[in-house]
Amino acid sequence: MSTTRPAFTPQFMREDGDAAPWTVLRPDGQLEEGARPTLDDAQLREACELMLFSRAFDEKGFSLQRQGRFGTFSPVRGQEASVVGAAVALDPQRDWVVPQYRELPALLRQGLPLEQFMLTFLGDPRGGLAPEGVNVLPIQIGLAAQLPQAVGLAWGLARQGRDAVVLVFCGDGASSEGDFHEACNLAGTLGAPVVFLLQNNGWAISTPRSRQSAAVTLAARAPGYGIPGSLVDGNDLLAVHEVVSDAVGRARAGDGPSLVETLTYRLGDHNTADDARRYQPADELESWAPRDPIARVLAHLRSRDLWDDEHDAAVRARIGRRIDEAVRTVEGVEPPGVDHLFAHVGEELSPRLARQRADLIASVETR
Amino acid sequence: MSTTRPAFTPQFMREDGDAAPWTVLRPDGQLEEGARPTLDDAQLREACELMLFSRAFDEKGFSLQRQGRFGTFSPVRGQEASVVGAAVALDPQRDWVVPQYRELPALLRQGLPLEQFMLTFLGDPRGGLAPEGVNVLPIQIGLAAQLPQAVGLAWGLARQGRDAVVLVFCGDGASSEGDFHEACNLAGTLGAPVVFLLQNNGWAISTPRSRQSAAVTLAARAPGYGIPGSLVDGNDLLAVHEVVSDAVGRARAGDGPSLVETLTYRLGDHNTADDARRYQPADELESWAPRDPIARVLAHLRSRDLWDDEHDAAVRARIGRRIDEAVRTVEGVEPPGVDHLFAHVGEELSPRLARQRADLIASVETR
Amino acid sequence: MSTLNMLQAINATLRAELARDERVMVLGQDVGRLGGVFRATDGLLDEFGADRVVDMPLAEAAIVGASIGLAASGLVPVAELQFLGFSHQAFHQIGAQLARMRYRSQGRFPMPVVLRAPFGGGVRTPELHSEALEAQFVQSPGLAVVTPATPADAKGLLQTAVRSSDPVLFCEPLRGYRLVTGEVPDEDCPIPFGRSRVAREGDDVTIVAWSAAVQVAEKAADVLAEEGISVMVLDLRTLVPLDETGLIEAVAATGRCVVVHEAPLSAGFGAEVVATVNDGAFWSLEAPVARVAAPDTPYPPGRIEDLFVPTVARVVAAVRATVKAG
Amino acid sequence: MSTLNMLQAINATLRAELARDERVMVLGQDVGRLGGVFRATDGLLDEFGADRVVDMPLAEAAIVGASIGLAASGLVPVAELQFLGFSHQAFHQIGAQLARMRYRSQGRFPMPVVLRAPFGGGVRTPELHSEALEAQFVQSPGLAVVTPATPADAKGLLQTAVRSSDPVLFCEPLRGYRLVTGEVPDEDCPIPFGRSRVAREGDDVTIVAWSAAVQVAEKAADVLAEEGISVMVLDLRTLVPLDETGLIEAVAATGRCVVVHEAPLSAGFGAEVVATVNDGAFWSLEAPVARVAAPDTPYPPGRIEDLFVPTVARVVAAVRATVKAG
Ligand SMILES: Cc1ncc(C[n+]2csc(CCOP(=O)(O)OP(=O)(O)O)c2C)c(N)n1
Ligand SMILES: Cc1ncc(C[n+]2csc(CCOP(=O)(O)OP(=O)(O)O)c2C)c(N)n1
Ligand SMILES: [Mg+2]
Ligand SMILES: [Mg+2]
């Protein structure tokens, strides 16, 4: 491969200040000149299915929420390549994902049952439990707080000789928080095996990327921490996978952390409580539609005869069944009660907590 | 001038990764080839006197502290060029200094009476008052907290049409705090007229610069905020002055903030409570001695016949008298009392505070 | 008089304060084009321009820190923290910086800064959005902590906050934003800090509350009235400064007291209420002061938050027990 | 038994815990080569190596955040915050993250993390180094708040802290570091959390205190003994969990109570003590519970801090008044 991306000589350092992201798959689904996909056919189809799953779940989640059957949640819509491309660069057996809150398919890839994720957004505390062996931390609402935690996790795993890499997600908005800086800098000094996946989807609720920072690219922050940085087309599954795989490889080899910025776009509302039409320029939104990450992979797979209508229908049916099954399961879960206020607050209940629990149970019973 | 420093094309962006700081005055006091000092003769002598003042005060402060006549304080020793070179790039009438805690000569240049600074380190609350018209914020103990404050100050002054620039200091240690990041990034988005002067003196108490960050230079963080960054020899009064003057000029012209890293060295203990011999390698310390910022300016001035023994003696005598006078004044100040706990907590005392005040006065009287 | 909900009262007050004093600015996350995630700043950007109504990067410490600098420069920033839960990211800029700047500078830099933040539960938000953290700010000498419960108080207290030369943490009851409506004077009506409000007169027992708990107390009082228990409801309105005299008199008048708050019990501001009552009305007390609060557990997810946040039923039960005691 | 001061007890305990369990790590600013600004970690780097005793960059949120991740990975981080005043920079990682991770993950990620921090005044530190901020952490459900007053308790409570699977904020009394000495058992002596200690028996009145205020209380008790007033001193030792039973019994036994703490009065943990006593020992009280605390002002500079921090004289006066009351 002899294209221009010098692995981890980030584009933003080019003299002309141009910040062209790394691309493998063109919007029309054709490979860039000389590019060689880093995913084999089976992997590609699997990744594509995960992206479709994510999109289908977004739609289901929105409609359930509108019916009052689901809580406020943030769809992945538009960012599927960025999330899935990064996630499939991991080995779920040993690697970890530390999410922000908009990365459902990465959690699924790690083995988190969809039901757990759904329970969380149904407001059930039990959703927070990732079964033992599923290498994920809970979703994070306090923006950027997950970043130093991921560094500690990577550092701790390395210290114990585990051959693990931690992939941690954050948004362009979260990257303005102090925790982003402290985490990247700490990772640099420790050489911790962590990959910071900064999803620049153009928005933090209503705040456009242009007001979030004057930096030409956010990946340009990497040299300030002495770590490699890269800018990648976040709507290009193969580009994301390639760059993140490089970063994961470096981390696994003991060469420390990396910062990867995926340039992508939030196709619509921030969450089910938002109305993006108040602030998202219609023409900007439209300009991103042709770059839809799923359409791009599908076009590619179809052009290589790896996907046809029949397969498409089968995949979508399978996805639909799985989601419906999860909806049924979580809707059948017995509602949580007073015990779920007190369970897991600490190893044991102090006498004061035990009394509060007893009092609450009594007050609920007399209601 | 045709040397290699491309104004505000920071050195750390050079392809070879070399981070050579900008120098004007060589350690032997001779100007670099083709360099032209940006301070005229009178200004140079004045700046040199301020540096000597600072050094003399450090010594006095240490000896007073050892006698129990002064509190814990952090000397400027070794960093005089970095502090003074930056400060003299300002117009005290309209510009502001926001200090960390190790920048006495910058505060003096702005017009802060030495007595105020001394009162602070004597543990007297009244030291915190900078007289109206002296454009400084109080010294900052919560590291990096001053940085977003300085951005707000610069932004507010600009919004009110004042022609002001804010020079804010922080250390290499403080630059690891989240507030550093949030402040630089905010300044970039606002285009606020602020100059971040990052004094990299090699140490944060016992933590060497190498453990503080893996970045080759800390100035390399500037592109991550979309602002110009520069690395400068912090023991070179003229280099610091030149680079900071550029930055001040840009800010004044409405071209926004800059980050300037001065490479300097803390010649000895962190403060009067510290014993740097526990951790500061003797050879490192020695290697910096020949680069003493004051010796360098003195050599330069002498070589240009702008300084001779007689002048030297006169200056030192004047400095000694001024410091002695300040010591006498502050030692004669009536000790603060209960009123100084309550004054300036808020515009008025709530009834609860008024009662607490009365109670405390009563309890002191019955003692 | 106009009938407004909390949000409308706050929005109108911000608009009027921006118009009244050109030093006033509004800043925060999503306060501009979006008008805030709850629309508290709706329309202000269009009316006053991007110089005075400013969308800030996602960095709470920078929002508060910059407000300190803006105030030092002579302006009057009214900053929004999107939720009080995210004040923690700025905690070091609040107690140790904003609240202390006047003292640190010995009066040179008063801090006319308002930090507005919605807080409190019962509305099924995601994690960290609902915590009642008001007590954590009481130990920030120099900072006023203001907790209006009604639209009229929201207006009057916000006017005072904006016009004060001292910093104010202005905690807005999320639950009441749209639900709580009331008559709001059209004219200027600044309410001095440190004056509690008797929300309802009563003889048998005094319920002390603030913010959204006031409405819970009032509903409990309705229920109890039917049982013949006459309940006084005292709305503290501001926790700092605290209306000691009003509190002590209100409790002494009935001899019995129940405090209600949304925060967990331990070290909630209810403890300070009990301690103040103990100090000032001990000899009038006919029963121990009862506290109705959330348990000492994390604020839970939506499906069980109604078990966590004090309910009318729990307040009623506590009042009954207090009236019977002694 | 050995006679040690607080620092020696802490240092020896850290050394022993590092030796006992290789999952234990020490991390923080200047904890390595320097051995901490107070030498609490002196010698540990040489003995256990730079992998287990780690100098961290100057970033408190990263220190606490990384500790959360280390714990999730299976290690046992004991992090030092150089001063409790700088815990504010990490506040968002403490209450909303560290304390809540076990609950958030429904038990998957217990958090065996200790945050050690010196605090408290009387030693002429620069600004922000002396604040008694312990009460601000009580409303962090899931977090234990531990405040030893003696070297033996420092050892016993620190052992428990390190061995606990829950997070602990371990507040060390700066003033007592070198001044307070005592007998410390050489063998293992973990002290369970939530058990107060009767530091001195007495009949007339109970002083409740923790951390450096315990010694102030004891000195006051000495003075009062000469006047014939017999004072019980109760050292709470841990604020969370609180020894409700011990506290209530100790106050009920004398019928009178004075709480002493270094933090400002309003919403200090003393308020919780009063509220708990009000709840559990109301009918035994013969006088209101008195609080001796700092005023609600910023922690002042060194020259006037002795006016701010509660003195023996103020405690003595409060006890006298309490004994006379009623
Ligand atoms: C510390 C903190 N501040 C504010 C919020 C409120 N909030 C939730 S999502 C969001 C925008 C996040 O933007 P970004 O990081 O770009 O992620 P995206 O939603 O685009 O995926 C904000 C401000 C929060 N959750 N946490
Ligand atoms: C937020 C915060 N954390 C920790 C400290 C304790 N402390 C005081 S000075 C210092 C080192 C500062 O290093 P640097 O910023 O490089 O400044 P220098 O002392 O070298 O001038 C530390 C850790 C503090 N004052 N504030
Ligand atoms: Mg975003
Ligand atoms: Mg330094």
CB of C21 within 8 Å of a chain B CB? The answer is no
Of B105, B107, B121, the closest CA to residue B72 belongs to: B121
Inter-chain residue contact D57 with B212, CB threshold 8 Å: yes
At residue B56, φ and ψ (nearest 5 deg) are -65, -40
In a domain, C60, yes or no: yes
Contacts of D127 in chain B (CB under 8 A): 141
Of D123, D155, D32, D30, the closest CA to residue D81 belongs to: D30
Q: Which amino acid residue places its CA nearest to atom 21 of ligand 1?
A: A171
Contacts of D68 in chain A (CB under 8 A): 148-149, 152
Percent of chain C with pLDDT over 90: 100
At residue B137, φ and ψ (nearest 5 deg) are -90, 160
Per-residue pLDDT for C234 more than 80? yes
Is residue D223 domain-shared with residue D164, that is, in the same domain?
Answer: no
CA distance C258 to C274: 9
Is residue D174 domain-shared with residue D102, that is, in the same domain?
Answer: yes
Query: What is the per-residue pLDDT across D174-222, written as a single tens digit (0 to 9) for each?
Result: 999 999 999 999 999 999 999 999 999 999 999 999 999 999 999 999 9
Instruction: With beta carbons less than 8 A apart as the criterion, state whether D11 and D21 touch.
Output: no
Which among D58, D60, D83, D84 is the best mutation to test ligand 2's pocket, defined by most ligand atoms within 8 Å of the CB? D58
Query: What is the per-residue pLDDT across A260-283, written as a single tens digit (0 to 9) for each?
Result: 999 999 999 999 999 999 999 999
Mutant choice from C54, C109, C115 vs B, greatest count of B C-beta within 10 A: C109
Instruction: With beta carbons less than 8 A apart as the criterion, state whether D91 and C96 touch.
Output: no
Q: Which whole number is the average pLDDT over A340-355?
A: 98
- Using CA atoms in the order D34, B214, A167, C82, what is the torsion angle rounded to 10 degrees? 80
Radius of gyration of chain B (CA): 21
Instruction: With beta carbons less than 8 A apart as the criterion, state whether A73 and A107 touch.
Output: no
CB of C165 within 8 Å of a chain B CB? The answer is yes
Per-residue pLDDT for B278 more than 60? yes
Q: For residue B229, give the chain A residue with the closest CA.
A: A224
For helices A114-121 and A309-332, what crossing angle results, to 10°?
A: 50
In a domain, D303, yes or no: yes
CB of A178 within 8 Å of a chain C CB? The answer is yes
For the Cβ of A171 lying below 6 angstroms from any atom of ligand 1, the answer is: yes
Is residue C99 domain-shared with residue C57, that is, in the same domain?
Answer: yes
With a threshold of 0.95, tell me whether the complex ipTM lies above it: yes
Q: What is the CATH number of the domain that holds C287?
A: 3.40.50.920
Which residues numbered 24-43 in B keep a CB inside 8 Å of some CB on A? Answer: none
The angle subtended at Cα C168 by Cα C162 and Cα C170, nearest 5°, is: 90
In a domain, C103, yes or no: yes
CA distance C161 to C193: 9
Q: What is the pLDDT of residue B20?
A: 83
Q: CA torsion sign, B122 to B124 to B125 to B130?
A: negative
Determine if the peptide bond prior to D241 is cis (ω within 30°).
Answer: yes
CB-side neighbour CA atoms (13 Å) of C308 = 27
Q: Which whole number is the average pLDDT over A9-36?
A: 72
Is residue D208 domain-shared with residue D321, that is, in the same domain?
Answer: yes
- Residue B302 falls in the annotated catalytic set: no
In a domain, C306, yes or no: yes
Catalytic residue from among B36, B277, B279, B355:
B279
In a domain, D91, yes or no: yes
Contacts of C268 in chain A (CB under 8 A): none
Determine if the peptide bond prior to C241 is cis (ω within 30°).
Answer: yes
Q: CA torsion sign, D306 to D310 to D311 to D314?
A: positive
Per-residue pLDDT for A4 more than 60? no
CB of C34 within 8 Å of a chain A CB? The answer is yes
Which residues numbered 46-85 in B keep a CB inside 8 Å of some CB on D? Answer: 71-72
CB of D136 within 8 Å of a chain C CB? The answer is yes
Q: What is the pLDDT of residue B367?
A: 58
Domain boundary pick from C184, C209, C244:
C184
Query: What is the per-residue pLDDT across B327-341, written as a single tens digit (0 to 9) for each?
Result: 999 999 999 999 999
Domain boundary pick from D135, D155, D184:
D184
List helix spans (H) across chain A. 41-66, 80-87, 104-110, 114-121, 146-159, 178-190, 209-212, 237-252, 282-288, 293-303, 309-332, 339-342, 351-365
Q: Which residues of chain D have pLDDT under 50?
A: none
- On average, the pLDDT of chain C sits at 98
Contacts of A34 (CB under 8 A, 6+ apart): A1, A2, A3
Is residue C176 domain-shared with residue C201, that is, in the same domain?
Answer: no
Inter-chain residue contact B216 with A227, CB threshold 8 Å: no
Inter-chain residue contact B226 with A214, CB threshold 8 Å: yes
Q: What is the pLDDT of residue A5?
A: 33
Q: What is the pLDDT of residue B19?
A: 67
Is residue D148 domain-shared with residue D220, that is, in the same domain?
Answer: no
Percent of chain A with pLDDT over 70: 95
Give me the DSSP letters along D228-268.
Answer: T--EEEEE--EEES--HHHHHHHHHHHS-EEEEEEEESTTS
pLDDT-based confidence at residue A19 (cuts at 50, 70, 90): low
Q: Which of B204, B206, B345 comes nearest D297 by C-beta?
A: B345
Catalytic residue from among B55, B209, B241, B270:
B270
Q: Span A41-336: which CATH code?
A: 3.40.50.970
Q: What is the pLDDT of residue B252?
A: 98
- Using CA atoms in the order C98, C103, C109, C114, what is the torsion angle rounded to 10 degrees? 30
SS3 A299: helix
* Secondary structure string (H, E, C) spanning chain B: CCCCCCCCCCHHHCCCCCCCCECCECCCCCECCCCCCCCCHHHHHHHHHHHHHHHHHHHHHHHHHHCCCCCCCCCCCCCHHHHHHHHCCCCCCCCEEECCCCCHHHHHHHCCCHHHHHHHHCCCHHHHCCCCCCCECCCCCCCCCHHHHHHHHHHHHHHCCCCCCEEEEEECCHHHCHHHHHHHHHHHHHCCCEEEEEEECCEECCEEHHHHCCCCCCHHHHHHHCCCEEEEECCCHHHHHHHHHHHHHHHHCCCCCEEEEEECCCCCCCCCCCCHHHCCCHHHHHHHHHHCHHHHHHHHHHHCCCCCHHHHHHHHHHHHHHHHHHHHHHHHCCCCCCHHHHCCCCCCCCHHHHHHHHHHHHHHHCC
For the Cβ of A172 lying below 6 angstroms from any atom of ligand 1, the answer is: yes
Q: For residue B214, give the chain A residue with the closest CA.
A: A226
- For chain A, where do the domains classified as CATH 3.40.50.970 start and end? 41-336
Q: What is the pLDDT of residue A367?
A: 58
- Residue D320: how many CB atoms within 10 A of its CB? 17
In a domain, C143, yes or no: yes
pLDDT-based confidence at residue A364 (cuts at 50, 70, 90): confident
Which among A205, A206, A209 is the best mutation to test ligand 1's pocket, defined by most ligand atoms within 8 Å of the CB? A205
The angle subtended at Cα D140 by Cα D134 and Cα D145, nearest 5°, is: 40
Per-residue pLDDT for B14 more than 60? no
Is residue D219 domain-shared with residue D99, that is, in the same domain?
Answer: no
Q: What is the CATH number of the domain that holds D26?
A: 3.40.50.970
Which residues surround ligand 2 with Cβ inside 6 Å?
Answer: B 74, 102, 141-143, 171-174, 201, 203-205, 266, 270; D 29, 58, 82, 86, 89
Is residue D283 domain-shared with residue D165, that is, in the same domain?
Answer: no
CA distance C85 to C133: 7
In a domain, C87, yes or no: yes
Per-residue pLDDT for B31 more than 90? yes
Of C132, C122, C177, the closest CA to residue C305 belongs to: C122
Is residue C251 domain-shared with residue C173, that is, in the same domain?
Answer: no
Is residue C144 domain-shared with residue C245, that is, in the same domain?
Answer: no
- Residue B221 falls in the annotated catalytic set: no
Q: What is the pLDDT of residue C326?
A: 81
Contacts of C198 (CB under 8 A, 6+ apart): C232, C233, C234, C235, C250
Inter-chain residue contact B215 with A225, CB threshold 8 Å: yes
The residues with which C24 forms a beta bridge, in sequence order, are: C76
Is residue C20 domain-shared with residue C156, that is, in the same domain?
Answer: yes
Per-residue pLDDT for B6 more than 50? no
Query: What is the per-residue pLDDT across B41-91, written as a single tens digit (0 to 9) for each?
Result: 999 999 999 999 999 999 999 999 999 999 999 999 999 999 999 999 999
Per-residue pLDDT for B1 more than 50? no
Domain count, chain D: 2
Q: Which amino acid residue places its CA nearest to atom 19 of ligand 2?
A: B204
Domain with C130, as residue range(s), is 2-184
Q: What share of chain A is helix, strand, coil (3-state, %, to 5)?
A: 50, 10, 40
Query: What is the per-residue pLDDT across C7-44, written as a single tens digit (0 to 9) for each?
Result: 999 999 999 999 999 999 999 999 999 999 999 999 99
Q: What is the pLDDT of residue B364?
A: 86
Mutant choice from B139, B140, B185, B344 vs C, greatest count of C C-beta within 10 A: B344
Per-residue pLDDT for A18 more than 70? no
Q: Which amino acid residue places its CA nearest to atom 17 of ligand 1?
A: A171
Instruction: With beta carbons less than 8 A apart as the criterion, state whether B120 and D301 touch.
Output: yes
pLDDT-based confidence at residue B9 (cuts at 50, 70, 90): very low
Contacts of B210 (CB under 8 A, 6+ apart): none
* d(CA B288, nearest CA chain D) in Å: 21
Residue C215 in tokens: 């409405």
Query: What is the per-residue pLDDT across B164-196, written as a single tens digit (0 to 9) for each?
Result: 999 999 999 999 999 999 999 999 999 999 999
Query: What is the per-residue pLDDT across A62-99, written as a single tens digit (0 to 9) for each?
Result: 999 999 999 999 999 999 999 999 999 999 999 999 99
pLDDT-based confidence at residue B18 (cuts at 50, 70, 90): low
SS3 D57: coil
In a domain, C190, yes or no: no
